[in-house]
Amino acid sequence: MAEANAVRVGLLGFGTIGSNVYRVIEQEHDAILDLTGIDLRVAHIVEKDFSRAGVDAPAELFTDDFKRVLDDPAVSIVVELIGGTDWAFTFVEAALRGGRDVVTANKQLLANRGAGLFELAAQLGRQIRFEASVGGAIPVIKVMREGMIAADLHTVYGIVNGTTNYILTALYRGEGDYAETLKKAQELGYAEADPTADVGGGDAAAKMAILASIAFRTRVTMADVTYEGIQDVTLDDVQYAKDFGFVVKLIGAARLVDGRVNVRVHPALVPEGHLLASINGSYNAVYLRGHTIDEIMLTGPGAGGPPTATAVVSDIMNIVGTDSAGFLQNCSCRRDLDRFPDGEMRSAFFTRFKVEDRAGVLAQIASIFGDHDVSIESMIQKGQGDEAELMVITHPTVERGFFAAIEKVAALSCVKSRPATIRVL
Ligand code: HSE
């Protein structure tokens, strides 16, 4: 065994992730020491809420003053787990300027303000590691940066929000409704402090910006990502999609199309036989396609304290075990690429709407679709009379044309409800 070598960490934030990072470091201390010779300990916990001081960690570790971390020369790594983009930015910047390497799980910070921080870290010869920012325990950042360095990636599909996948899985299995499953996801520590970020797609959008930046080696920010959440997906949508042989998932899609970048998050119908259809509950998956690899999918627990803490501790050990001047550190976004507009993307669609149940209705609708070059793959009618509802699945089509057709369909007097639309993967 190598000689014991002390590494001291300053922990910012003691919520779901922070408290689990502390616990994992304590639990795994002897195994890490045995394996690596590193004596890893948390030296300070910066937290405003002291209610767990002395209960979940010794009271003397707690402080509400970040300066105590910076003033301790024994601390070489700062772990930022407070979330948000303001204080987190200030603390990370101060830590880097104070000569510390940084580990963060903060996807919003990186997707909104990452460029400046990575640039600063590179100037100062420091590291920012962020494995826990995407995919919980799945080592997706490490695999993409190292294992996929020669993969020439052009497509990343992700199920990267555990909360929404947990809700959609419950709807598919008929195990609960939207509100009660969201509440359960919050109790299990999957959801963000404000779950709007989960159900509204913002959490997944930040994660897809990070994945796209790595995959395409260009800086993709939150502002580049178009996103929708699952708030408008109903139990009926999920069950009707099931009748057609599809599972509804919140899909992140990052694609390099003719040298231009398109990154989006939206609900999608995934064919039951597709690899991504089998990802259930709070599990996440990242599905990669590259010119040299065909396809690779990584999957595992994507949310919650213990899985995410595992990724944080692995980042700490990677910093300790690597040269800070190495090529894997910090930013590899060296390319300037244009954006590929959403409207020009091609997708197949599922749409459903209530209609008058009489002769000639189908012909009017089909003619509008035909005029916009939208080809229908299958169509069924459920119910009769006042309850008649049409469900249509299209072939892949240019999105601008599809949405123009939908507006015209919605305006027909025979159409009695606003068409709901979900893309088909
Ligand atoms: N709220 C996130 C999720 C946690 O549900 O996936 C992991 O970032």
**Ligand 1 in contact with 163 (CB < 6 A)?**
yes
Asked if residue 340 is part of any domain, the answer here is no
The verdict on 146 and 238 lying in the same domain is yes
Q: How far is the CA of 165 from the centre of ligand 1 (A)?
A: 10
Q: How many domains does the chain contain in total?
A: 3
Asked if residue 334 is part of any domain, the answer here is no
**Ligand 1 in contact with 198 (CB < 6 A)?**
yes
**Ligand 1 in contact with 131 (CB < 6 A)?**
no
The verdict on 63 and 115 lying in the same domain is yes
Asked if residue 270 is part of any domain, the answer here is yes
Q: 351: closest CA among 410, 400, 309?
A: 410
Q: Spell out the residues 6+ positions from residue 407 whose beta carbon is closer than 8 angstroms to its own.
A: none
pLDDT tops 80 at residue 251: yes
- Mean pLDDT across the chain, nearest whole number? 94
**Ligand 1 in contact with 192 (CB < 6 A)?**
yes
The verdict on 110 and 184 lying in the same domain is no
Q: How far is the CA of 15 from the centre of ligand 1 (A)?
A: 14
Q: How confident is the model at residue 384 (pLDDT cuts 50, 70, 90)?
A: confident
Atom 4 in ligand 1: residue holding the nearest Cα = 303
**Ligand 1 in contact with 237 (CB < 6 A)?**
no
Asked if residue 336 is part of any domain, the answer here is no
**Ligand 1 in contact with 191 (CB < 6 A)?**
yes
**Ligand 1 in contact with 228 (CB < 6 A)?**
no
Question: Exposed, middle or buried by CB within 10 Å (0-12, 13-18, 19+), for 399?
Answer: middle
How far apart CA 205 and CA 193 sit, in angstroms, is: 17
**Ligand 1 in contact with 422 (CB < 6 A)?**
no
Q: How far is the CA of 209 from the centre of ligand 1 (A)?
A: 15
Residue 367 CA to chain centroid, in angstroms? 39
Atom 7 in ligand 1: residue holding the nearest Cα = 303
**Closest atom of ligand 1 to CA, residue 163:** 5
Give pLDDT tens digits for 24-54: 999 999 999 998 889 999 999 999 999 988 8
**Closest atom of ligand 1 to CA, residue 185:** 5
Q: String of b and e for 357-394 (b: at least 16 CB within 10 Å)? A: beeebeeebeebbeebebeeeeeeeeeeeeebbbbbbb
Q: Pick from 21, 183, 190, 286 the residue to mutate for probing ligand 1's pocket: most ligand atoms within 8 Å of its CB.
A: 190
Domain that holds residue 402: 345-424
The verdict on 185 and 241 lying in the same domain is yes
**Closest atom of ligand 1 to CA, residue 166:** 5
The verdict on 118 and 178 lying in the same domain is no
pLDDT tops 90 at residue 333: no
**Ligand 1 in contact with 190 (CB < 6 A)?**
yes
How far apart CA 352 and CA 343 sit, in angstroms, is: 21
Q: How far is the CA of 252 from the centre of ligand 1 (A)?
A: 14
| Domain CATH code at residue 50 | 3.40.50.720
Average of per-residue pLDDT across 362-387: 93
- Asked which of 21-25, 151-155, 234-238 is least confident by mean pLDDT, the reply is 234-238
Asked if residue 306 is part of any domain, the answer here is no
Which pair of structure tokens corresponds to residue 383?
């119910």
How far apart CA 1 and CA 55 sit, in angstroms, is: 33
- Predicted pLDDT of residue 3: 54
| Dihedral sign from CA coordinates of 299, 179, 197, 216 | positive
Average of per-residue pLDDT across 379-406: 94
**What pTM was computed for the model?**
0.91
- Asked which of 14-18, 214-218, 298-302, 386-390 is least confident by mean pLDDT, the reply is 386-390
- Predicted pLDDT of residue 321: 83
How far apart CA 425 and CA 422 sit, in angstroms, is: 10
Q: How confident is the model at residue 368 (pLDDT cuts 50, 70, 90)?
A: very high
- Predicted pLDDT of residue 176: 86
Q: Which residue, 105, 133, 161, sits at the end of a domain?
A: 133
Asked if residue 330 is part of any domain, the answer here is no
How far apart CA 166 and CA 251 sit, in angstroms, is: 13
pLDDT tops 80 at residue 330: no
Is position 408 annotated as part of the catalytic site?
A: no
Show contacts of 16-19: CB within 8 Å, 24+ apart.
16/189, 16/304, 16/305, 16/308, 17/81, 17/105, 17/132, 17/305, 17/308, 17/309, 17/312, 18/45, 18/47, 18/79, 18/81, 19/52, 19/56, 19/57, 19/305
| Domain CATH code at residue 418 | 3.30.70.260
Q: At 370, which amino acid appears?
A: G
pLDDT tops 90 at residue 108: yes
**Ligand 1 in contact with 201 (CB < 6 A)?**
no
Distances, alpha carbon 349 to alpha carbons 12, 169, 215, 417, in Å: 44, 21, 27, 17
- Predicted pLDDT of residue 46: 97
Strands 153-159 and 225-227: unpaired
Give pLDDT tens digits for 264-292: 999 999 999 999 999 999 999 999 999 99
Catalytic residue among 107, 207, 249, 354: 207
Cβ-based neighbour number of residue 181 at 10 Å = 19
| Domain CATH code at residue 160 | 3.30.360.10
pLDDT tops 60 at residue 111: yes
The verdict on 37 and 167 lying in the same domain is no
Q: How confident is the model at residue 307 (pLDDT cuts 50, 70, 90)?
A: very high
The verdict on 290 and 164 lying in the same domain is yes
- Predicted pLDDT of residue 1: 41
Backbone torsions φ then ψ of 288, nearest 5 degrees: -110, 140
Q: How far is the CA of 383 from the centre of ligand 1 (A)?
A: 38
Element (H, E) at 385: none
**Closest atom of ligand 1 to CA, residue 190:** 5
**Ligand 1 in contact with 130 (CB < 6 A)?**
no
The verdict on 147 and 182 lying in the same domain is yes
Q: How confident is the model at residue 4 (pLDDT cuts 50, 70, 90)?
A: low
Asked if residue 333 is part of any domain, the answer here is no
The verdict on 355 and 289 lying in the same domain is no
- Predicted pLDDT of residue 385: 87
Q: Pick from 192, 196, 280, 312 the residue to mutate for probing ligand 1's pocket: most ligand atoms within 8 Å of its CB.
A: 192
pLDDT over 70 for what percent of the chain?
97
Asked if residue 325 is part of any domain, the answer here is no
- Predicted pLDDT of residue 189: 87
Average of per-residue pLDDT across 326-355: 86
Q: How confident is the model at residue 2 (pLDDT cuts 50, 70, 90)?
A: very low
The verdict on 86 and 204 lying in the same domain is no
CA atoms within 13 A on the CB side of 339: 14
Give pLDDT tens digits for 157-176: 999 999 999 999 999 999 98
Q: How far is the CA of 393 from the centre of ligand 1 (A)?
A: 31
The verdict on 145 and 273 lying in the same domain is yes
Q: How far is the CA of 112 from the centre of ligand 1 (A)?
A: 17
Average of per-residue pLDDT across 109-127: 94
The verdict on 290 and 349 lying in the same domain is no
Q: Which residue, 246, 267, 301, sits at the end of a domain?
A: 301
Q: Which residue, 104, 133, 162, sits at the end of a domain?
A: 133
